[in-house]
C-alpha cells in the first residue's frame, strides 16, 4: 500500500522541552488516520510540521514524496489544513471566504463559482451562501473551514481537533461529512484527545504520548496485537451455574464468571483459543442443554486500546 505521509526520526524541541522525539509515522493513501493523544502529546506540532508551518529540529517528513523542508510549496499544494481555531476576516460572506482562499491558491477565476457552489453543497451550506461568516454557528463555521481546506483539491486533509467545541448534533454532522470525504479518495489525518470522536470513522490510528509514537497501524491489527485472548458474553435462559460448569474445564478457557445481577444475567468466558475453536464453546453449551440467546465476543474500543498501550509503554 502506498504511503502518502511518512516521517523519519522527526524531532522538535521548544527550548529544553522535547515536543516530538524520533517520530516514525506512515499514513497510507486513502486512510482516515486518527492521531490520538492527550493535550500536549505532540499532535499539533506534528501537524504543523507536515503543513510546513513549523520546521523540525531534526529528522524529515514527506507528503506524497515531497520533503517538507526542501519542497514546501509542493507540499502545500498537496495538503489542506484545518487548525483547531477558526480565523476569518470581518464582513465576509460564505462564498467570498471560499473565493478569497481559492484565489490565494491560484484557482482560475472562471472555475471558482462552480467550485464554490459544489463545496458549499458538499458541506451542506448552500443555503448560507450569502450569509456573513461571523454570524454562522460554531458547527457551520467548522464545515465552512473544512470546505476552505479543499478549494485547491488537496490529496491530504489535516484536521486538528475539528470537533472541539461542537454540540452533539454538529459532531454527528461533521462525522458524516468526513465519511463522505473518504469516498472522494481523500486521505484524512484527524487529531483528537476525545477518543469516542474517532471510533466510528478511523481506518488507522496512531497513539502518541509525551512526544513518542507508541503504536501505529490499521485498527484491526492493533486490536489483535493487544487482545491476546477474547471475552465472550453469553446470555442463557436457564441456570447460569450449570451453563458455566459445561465449559469451565474446556481447553483454552481461562476463566468463567457468572454475573447473575447483570441485565440480562450472563456469563463472561475468558478464552484464548483461536477463532476456529470458538464454535466448540457454543457447541458444548447447546449440547449440554443451555438455552443460549446471545453469544458474542466483546470488542475493544479506542479507549481500551489507548489505555492498554499507554499502560504498557508509558506508565511502567
Domain boundaries, the chain: 3-224, 228-299
Compute φ and ψ for 188, nearest 5 degrees. Answer: -125, 125
Is 35 in contact with 214 (CB distance < 8 Å)?
Answer: no
Alpha carbon 242 to its chain's center: 43
pLDDT tens, residue by residue, 5-44:
999 999 999 998 999 999 999 999 999 998 988 888 899 9
Is 152 in contact with 77 (CB distance < 8 Å)?
Answer: yes
Question: Does 177 score more than 90 pLDDT?
Answer: no
Cell of 244: 458455566
Give the domain 228-299 fold. Answer: Alpha-Beta Plaits (3.30.70)
Q: Where are the alpha helices (DSSP H) in 20-93?
A: 43-50, 72-78
pLDDT tens, residue by residue, 214-256:
888 887 777 666 655 678 899 999 999 999 999 999 988 989 9
Cell of 262: 447483570
Mean pLDDT of 97-124: 94
Cβ atoms within 10 Å, residue 190 = 25
| Distance between CA atoms of residues 245 and 305, nearest Å | 32
DSSP 261: T
| The domains spanning 3-224 and 228-299 adopt the same CATH topology | no
Question: Does 196 score more than 50 pLDDT?
Answer: yes
pLDDT mean across residues, the chain? 86
**55 confidence band (pLDDT: 50, 70, 90):** very high
Question: Does 147 score more than 80 pLDDT?
Answer: yes
- The CATH class of 3-224 is alpha beta
What is the pTM (predicted TM-score) of this model? 0.75
pLDDT of amino acid 299:
59
**72 confidence band (pLDDT: 50, 70, 90):** very high
| Distance between CA atoms of residues 157 and 147, nearest Å | 11
Cell of 223: 486490536
Amino acid at each position: 500500500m502506498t504511503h502518502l505521509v511518512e516521517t523519519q526520526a522527526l524531532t522538535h524541541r521548544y527550548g529544553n522541552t522535547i515536543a516530538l522525539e524520533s517520530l516514525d509515522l506512515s499514513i497510507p493513501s486513502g486512510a482516515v488516520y486518527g492521531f490520538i493523544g492527550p493535550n500536549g502529546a505532540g499532535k499539533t506540532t506534528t501537524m504543523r510540521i507536515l503543513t510546513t508551518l513549523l520546521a523540525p529540529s531534526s529528522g524529515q517528513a514527506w507528503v506524497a514524496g515531497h520533503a517538507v523542508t526542501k519542497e514546501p510549496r509542493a507540499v502545500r499544494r498537496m495538503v489542506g489544513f484545518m487548525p483547531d481555531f477558526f480565523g476569518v476576516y470581518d464582513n465576509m460572506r460564505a462564498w467570498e471566504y471560499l473565493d478569497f482562499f481559492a484565489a490565494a491558491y491560484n484557482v482560475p477565476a472562471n472555475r471558482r463559482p462552480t467550485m464554490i457552489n459544489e463545496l458549499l453543497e458538499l458541506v451542506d451550506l448552500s443555503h448560507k451562501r450569502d450569509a456573513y461568516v461571523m454570524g454562522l454557528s460554531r458547527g457551520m463555521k467548522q464545515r465552512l473551514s473544512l470546505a476552505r481546506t479543499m478549494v485547491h483539491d488537496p490529496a491530504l486533509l489535516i484536521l486538528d481537533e475539528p470537533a472541539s467545541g461542537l454540540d452533539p448534533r454538529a459532531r454527528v454532522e461533521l462525522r458524516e461529512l468526513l465519511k463522505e470525504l473518504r469516498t472522494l479518495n481523500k486521505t484524512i489525518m484527524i487529531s483528537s484527545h476525545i477518543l469516542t470522536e474517532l471510533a466510528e470513522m478511523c481506518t488507522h490510528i496512531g497513539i502518541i504520548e509525551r512526544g513518542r509514537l507508541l503504536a501505529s497501524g490499521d485498527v484491526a491489527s492493533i486490536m489483535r496485537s493487544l487482545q491476546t485472548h477474547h471475552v465472550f458474553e453469553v446470555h442463557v435462559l436457564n441456570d447460569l451455574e450449570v451453563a458455566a460448569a459445561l465449559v469451565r474445564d474446556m481447553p483454552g478457557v481461562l476463566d468463567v464468571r457468572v454475573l447473575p445481577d447483570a441485565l440480562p444475567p450472563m456469563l463472561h468466558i475468558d478464552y484464548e483459543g483461536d477463532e476456529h475453536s470458538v464454535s466448540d464453546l457454543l457447541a458444548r453449551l447447546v449440547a449440554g442443554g443451555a438455552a443460549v440467546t446471545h453469544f458474542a465476543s466483546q470488542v475493544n474500543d479506542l479507549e481500551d486500546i489507548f489505555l492498554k498501550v499507554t499502560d504498557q509503554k508509558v506508565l511502567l
